[in-house]
Amino acid sequence: MNKTTRTLPLGKIALVFFAVAAVVTFYSNNALAHAIAQGDKGYIQQISGTNIGPFMYLGAKHMVTGYDHILFLVGVIFFLFGFNQIATYVTLFAVGHSVTMLIGVYFNFGINPHIIDAIIGFSVVYKALDNLGAFQLWFGFQPNTKVMTFIFGLLHGFGLASKILDYEMSSDGLVPNLLAFNVGVELGQLVALGLILLFMHHWRATASFMRQAYAANFLLMTAGFFLIGIQCVAFLADHS
């Protein structure tokens, strides 16, 4: 995988971390709380039986509006150019989050939503650092990008499972509804991926792409730190 040759000094990482921590701490805790759309939750709690269409819609909606998932996806494909490469990594991510989402909901196993969303935020930080070549510079070691994409896919799936468990779905029709939600997630991911690739295609055609790639991944890393901070503040607020 091609990467920009610029790397990120630890000092900049620390500066970004503390700056984001200050902003998050200043921000209102109520605005940062983990929540699902109350209209969607109320609707799901009122229905039972098999409802393929609504659950496909909810799955697609969650993925398309799930900025944490989309940011990670941007990081994953940032330096991928060939169709086979993109398809391989996206498939690994999709399989990973499908497995843990289905298992988590079916066996009613959830992780505190703030904790799992903070981990998902960390996945964005990790991928940005990977794109910047930080691990090779700091440790002289490059983690296997395919393995890490699959592992983070598993973790993102637990985030999806926690979201579905919040819906308090009826056990009547649980399996088909869950599968429909997963299909919706994959369709939403394809829509998001298509828009990202369209933008990336035009951006990569510019002479300034490689020069701007460093700044873009720096911003991606900053966004990941912000997501972590949001969830840490909300977790502490819930337990204070």
Q: What is the pLDDT of residues 105-121, one digit of tens each?
A: 999 888 899 999 999 99
1 inside domain: no
Q: For residue 154, is pLDDT > 50?
A: yes
Q: Tell me which residue of 232, 231, 234 sits closest to 30, measured CA to CA.
A: 234
Q: Cα separation of 149 and 130, whole Å? A: 11
CB of 12 closer than 8 Å to CB of 134:
no
116 inside domain: yes
91 inside domain: yes
5 inside domain: no
pLDDT at 46: 81
2 inside domain: no
Q: How many structural domains does the chain have?
A: 1
CB of 24 closer than 8 Å to CB of 32:
yes
48 inside domain: yes
**Confidence band, pLDDT 50/70/90 cuts, at residue 238:** confident
CB of 220 closer than 8 Å to CB of 120:
no
Q: What is the pTM of this model?
A: 0.84
Q: How many CB atoms lie within 10 A of CB 210?
A: 15
Q: Can you tell me the mean pLDDT for 77-93?
A: 93
Range of the domain at 60: 10-238
CB of 165 closer than 8 Å to CB of 108:
yes
Output 147 or 29, whichever has higher pLDDT: 147
3 inside domain: no
